[in-house]
Amino acid sequence: MFVRTATASTTAAALLGAGALLLPADRPETPERRDAPVVVAHRGASGYAPENTLAAADAADALGIDWVENDVHRTRDGELVVLHDTSLKRTTDVEQVFPDRAPWAVKDFTAAEIAKLDAGSWFGAQFAGARVPTLTQFLDRLERNRQKLLLEIKSPAAYPGIERDIVRVLGRSGWLDRSHVRSRLVIQSFGADSVKKVHTLRPDVTTGFLGTPAVADLPSYAAFTDQINPSYATIGADYVAAVQRLKGPHGKRLRVNTWTVNKAADAAKARDMGVDGIITNFPDVVRDATS
């Protein structure tokens, strides 16, 4: 569970106090600043709304954050859903709705069963009734908000073939056209083999590897990934520079997006390391600290 911090902006606090998130009307897209890291809302603006829900994507949008990170699993009947854990227990009321189905693994439930669950009350009463979105629903919401997606394939070994399923859904939802592929979509995973599969299926799509490979191993990763996305606790300026000296499969230098940075002081340190992006539960805090 995320802890709300005193550093959160008054803007975000006001949004929560209103009990609803109002979307800005037709915000024009602006180029990303080159002198500050790109800010990515981790599971949506998950410091202010229940993670990986449509409300969390809307919270990021209301704060003016374009990039949203999410996590994708597959249900028993083949639907792709947006949720972080392999189990439904932490962020839904599955124990009450299906008390005899422990350990409540996502892969053991159908999409219709998961659609019955409350994925918001654990975070706050104002989010009661929020649902676990399907990937299609999440993509549609980001499209409506004109946001961008950093999609994480969770536990790919548990879902053989999920890479092809994700590519299929992205294509069906219009997310594999030139404009999306060029500037609005990145697919990442902790599983190197999963990232390789995505690169093989769609060589044009930008990919990211989650982790901190040894510097000596970085050239082998550069063959199939465009980003190395490590934990903030594992890196320094030298490591960031070592990554950025290499070029990825699209002939561009590798980028570094670090996670999960929630404090202003840590965000400033990450910026000074030279990272390209910062993934955070509190995107307004990071933006204000690094801009």
> CA angle, 124 as apex, 123 and 128 as ends, to 5°?
100
Q: Which of 42, 73, 180, 199 is catalytic?
A: 42
* Six token digits for residue 118: 């409350």
| CA 105 vs CA 53, 95, 145, 270: distances in Å | 18, 11, 31, 35
Compute the Cα dihedral for 232, 237, 242, 246 and give only its sign: positive
Query: Buried b / exposed e across 189-199, counting CB within 10 Å, b at 16+?
Result: bebbebbbbbb
SS3 at position 276: coil
Strand 80-82 with 67-74, pairing: antiparallel
42: annotated active-site residue: yes
SS3 at position 128: coil
Nearest Cα residue to 66 out of 186, 154, 240: 186
Contact 230, 211 (CB under 8 A): yes
84: annotated active-site residue: yes
What are the DSSP calls for 209-254, one per residue?
A: EES---GGGHHHHTTT-SEEE-BGGG--HHHHHHHHTSB-TTSSB-
Contact 45, 8 (CB under 8 A): no
User: Phi and psi for 170 in degrees, rounded to 5?
Assistant: -60, -45
Q: Which of 73, 84, 180, 199 is catalytic?
A: 84
Which amino acid, 190?
F
- Cα separation, 238 vs 17, in Å, equals 43
Q: Which residues are catalytic, by number?
A: 42, 84
